[in-house]
Chains A and B, each alone.
Chain A
Amino acid sequence: MTARRKGYEGVVVVAPTTAPYQRFSIKTAHWWIARALGDCLASARIGPRDIDGFSVASFTLFPDTAVGLTQHLGLSVRWLDHVPLGGACGVVALRRAARAVQCGDSTIVACVAGDTNHVDSFRRMLSSFSRFAQDASYPYGAGGPNACFALLTDYYMRTYGARREDFGKICVTQRDNALKNPNAVMKHPLTMDDYLAGRPISDPITLFDCVMPVAGAEAFLVMREEDAIAQNLPHAHILGTIERHNAFSEDVIQTRGGWAMEIDELYAMAACTSQDIDVVNTYDDYPVIVMMQMEDLGFCAKGEAPSFVRDSDFTICGDFPHNTSGGQLSAGQAGAGGGFLGLTEAIRQVTGTAGPTQVDGAKMALVSGFGMINYDRGLCSGAAILSGGDT
């Protein structure tokens, strides 16, 4: 018996910021977070002393957490959050910050996510990602998330008849979108032939099914609508959000995420349907997860994502604009920043500030997050619907 939830009236999201990604960096997560935060505050024309709330997501801050960053970055805040939820961190940070602002615990919350990528970071992170991964998946070939998602992909293909070309279409289209995003690390077109000829990674997953780990950071601000208007800042409204962790633990293998449990709630809160969404940014660490989100977020029925993909055009100009920045598959995965990527892009889309990736007339965007392959499946799911203008 879930109590009827309050909306996010009076709270807006502003200043979507991306610190341009690099494949490898000798800098630290602290540096990348500082860089994104600095750019974000500058774009909102405020200084570090003007924020009183701070939310951080990062894998590579060790031994620091958010509180260490306050001293490191010279912030004095009265509301502080650390969101170690991987790909769900964007939606989760947004929800928490929105409530803090709405209730007056904070006036302006800066949400930042980012990581560095040293030459050896990825390998080190895999071996100690979680206790269950360390105990029960990493010892098996040490394929990391590639191998885990390969098992999910294998199962999904066997069960629902998805073909490699279907996954390929998602990747090829996102590359197309990425070519319009100056911050994307992938600068060359990708054809279906290129995709199908990709180097084997962990069957059936090949090179272009995998994101490229990069260094980078993303940020946005959550504040009162009146303050955004006073500052003349383009702002997005939060129509609805959901989050669910460790859903469907009884499933023998993952074919659905927590979205499927909460989806009715999401659209009810936002007072809209899936048909009203203009831009969809799913969490795309692997294309099979994109398909699950298409299904679980109500764009098609379970098992029908392969045909939905075949029948839809996911480009910026297409009938179903999807991952318009290129997504992590083509823009790069900046660690926890990957959990923010769809959200910052969604803010830009609904506020009409997306520039070269702008979808014409985009009013409503749905962004979803997914994270933490703790053992054999992703545990965190979240989604939010944003709108621009004066809704």
Chain B
Amino acid sequence: MTEPLKPPPKKNPQRRTRAPTRPSHFRSRAALGLAAAAGEGRFMLQVCDRCTAIQYPPRDACSACLSIDLSWKDAKPTGTLIAETTVQTSTNTYFRERSPWRVGTVVMDIGPSVIAHIHGDITVGEHVRLVNRLDRSGQAVFFAMPVHGTDNPEDDLQMREMTCDPKFRRVLITDGRNPNSVAIAEAFVKAGASIIFVGESEAWRPYPNQSALRGVDNVEILPLDVTDTNSVQVLSGEISGKTDILVNNARFIRPGGLFDRRDVVFAQQEIEVNYLGLMRLAQSFGPVMRERAADGTNSAVSWVNILSAYAWTNEPDFGPFSASNAAALSISQALRADLADSGIRVMNVYVGPTEDEWHQPLPPPKVTPGSLARAVVTGLRDGLEEQFVGDIAEDLIKRWRDNPKVLEREMIANRGRA
């Protein structure tokens, strides 16, 4: 049984904050396919296109038939733990600081033997379920979990290193005005977050969920306007040292294609909020969070951006808005790169049309604040990097991966059909 995680004590201000270290992040190009799968919480292995042999470790040619055509496929992640070791001394500082560290050999039901991190609740001989997770280096690793339910498995200290679990962590939701802010705050309360800071812009202008937000437990409303550099800097000065998870839900959206507008005024607002807002937050909060990435139970751990799925391909009826999200997606990759050393995960949550006033004329399905909030929390628990929430976003990314250029034509062909 996993020892339940204890709430962290107040920080001793006389103690130096431990600098973040990380497991080895070097991987071959083939192995990066595993990281791509882990970023979406998928367990995948390479499978030979010709002879269907399953391969591990990742490689460039089939070890059964020498075919050079290998494809990543979802694989049955079960197996048996046949050997284990507890690493007591490591040449890597990250593991040295976290030793003893348990790893084991798992023989998968589908064939390969894999070395995996192992959960504290399993012993040799047991049937296990492997999950593919990103570790603090941002690279993929296998983690062997108990097959049957155990008590608070997420509190296993090795497991917690592979996730961004909100339990006992402090969260900043950047835009209280967004209709989704209440649902997100409530989801974090339920997930055990200790404080939920919520940024509120233009307090002089009332908004519908203002009072509901104030009714959520552990919510602390603070002034924050992501379009105002000074405001971002001031709030960062106050709370970036205790922001463990930052959820950037700030969004400016107006419908309309390129020709529907005769100006760039809304587009500027979209860029100001959706792109530059993210950049301002990143420049103020990012460097501080990065330093706190190994700061105990409530270390800084994740940065969440809620973006439009149309960041991937332009939705012409929301043309300029889509463009601002494409910019945000791009800068989020720069943010991910700048945070990589520290192990802080950047998770982008992509949504299709959301249940709000700006998508009011559109038919369902639309993403509700509740489902978005659940996705944010489960994504953090699974340590994800990319999430597509709702049928439309999932459909869009499937099409994009199939052929981005074909998708572009489809977006044109489907224009106005909604």
Give A contacts to B, CB under 8 Å.
Answer: 122-123, 126-128, 131-132, 134-144, 146-148, 150-152, 154-155, 158, 199-205, 249, 252-253, 375-376
A136, A150, A154 interface centre (most CB from chain B within 10 Å): A136
* In the complex, chain B residues 102-125 whose Cβ is within 8 Å of any chain A Cβ: 102-105, 107, 113-117, 124
B155 within 8 A of A: no
Residue of B23, B30, B100, B105 touching A142 (CB-CB under 8 A): B23
B27 within 8 A of A: yes
B83 within 8 A of A: yes
Residue pair A202, B141 in contact (C-beta under 8 Å): no
Q: Which 7 A-B pairs have the closest CB atoms?
A: A142-B92, A150-B85, A136-B57, A141-B87, A135-B31, A155-B83, A143-B87
Residues of A within 8 A of B299 (CB): none
- Alpha-carbon distance A375/B57, docked complex (angstroms): 8
Residues of A within 8 A of B137 (CB): 139
Task: Known A131-B28, A134-B28, A252-B107; judge A139-B57 contact (CB<8 A).
Answer: no
Task: Known A134-B24, A202-B89; judge A155-B82 contact (CB<8 A).
Answer: yes
Kindly report which residue of chain A lies nearest to residue B143, judged by CB atoms.
Answer: A140
- Alpha-carbon distance A142/B141, docked complex (angstroms): 12
Give B contacts to A, CB under 8 Å.
Answer: 23-24, 26-28, 30-31, 56-59, 63, 82-92, 94-95, 99-105, 107, 113-117, 124, 135, 137, 139, 141
Kindly report which residue of chain B lies nearest to residue A148, judged by CB atoms.
Answer: B115
How close is B39's CB to chain A, nearest CB, in angstroms?
A: 16
- Alpha-carbon distance A141/B85, docked complex (angstroms): 10
- Alpha-carbon distance A199/B89, docked complex (angstroms): 10
Residues of A within 8 A of B56 (CB): 136
Task: Known A134-B28, A158-B83; judge A142-B113 contact (CB<8 A).
Answer: no
Residue pair A158, B124 in contact (C-beta under 8 Å): yes
How close is B341's CB to chain A, nearest CB, in angstroms?
A: 16
Residues of B within 8 A of A249 (CB): 63
- Alpha-carbon distance A205/B90, docked complex (angstroms): 13
Residues of B within 8 A of A158 (CB): 83, 124
Residue pair A376, B26 in contact (C-beta under 8 Å): no
How close is A50's CB to chain B, nearest CB, in angstroms?
A: 42
Residue pair A203, B90 in contact (C-beta under 8 Å): no
Residue of B57, B103, B105 touching A253 (CB-CB under 8 A): B105
Kindly report which residue of chain B lies nearest to residue A126, judged by CB atoms.
Answer: B91
- Alpha-carbon distance A135/B31, docked complex (angstroms): 6
A-B contact pairs, 29 of them (CB 8 A): A123-B92, A128-B26, A132-B57, A134-B27, A134-B28, A136-B56, A136-B114, A141-B87, A142-B87, A143-B90, A143-B103, A146-B89, A147-B85, A148-B115, A150-B85, A150-B87, A151-B103, A151-B105, A154-B83, A154-B124, A158-B124, A201-B89, A202-B87, A202-B89, A203-B86, A203-B88, A203-B100, A252-B107, A376-B113
- Alpha-carbon distance A200/B84, docked complex (angstroms): 14
- Alpha-carbon distance A64/B199, docked complex (angstroms): 58
Residue pair A139, B139 in contact (C-beta under 8 Å): yes
Residue pair B90, A140 in contact (C-beta under 8 Å): no
- Alpha-carbon distance A135/B28, docked complex (angstroms): 7
Residue of A142, A200, A203 touching B91 (CB-CB under 8 A): A142
- Alpha-carbon distance A151/B104, docked complex (angstroms): 7
Residues of A within 8 A of B23 (CB): 139, 142
Residues of A within 8 A of B139 (CB): 139
Residues of A within 8 A of B114 (CB): 136
How close is B159's CB to chain A, nearest CB, in angstroms?
A: 14
Kindly report which residue of chain B lies nearest to residue A136, judged by CB atoms.
Answer: B57
Residue pair A144, B83 in contact (C-beta under 8 Å): no
Kindly report which residue of chain A lies nearest to residue B85, judged by CB atoms.
Answer: A150
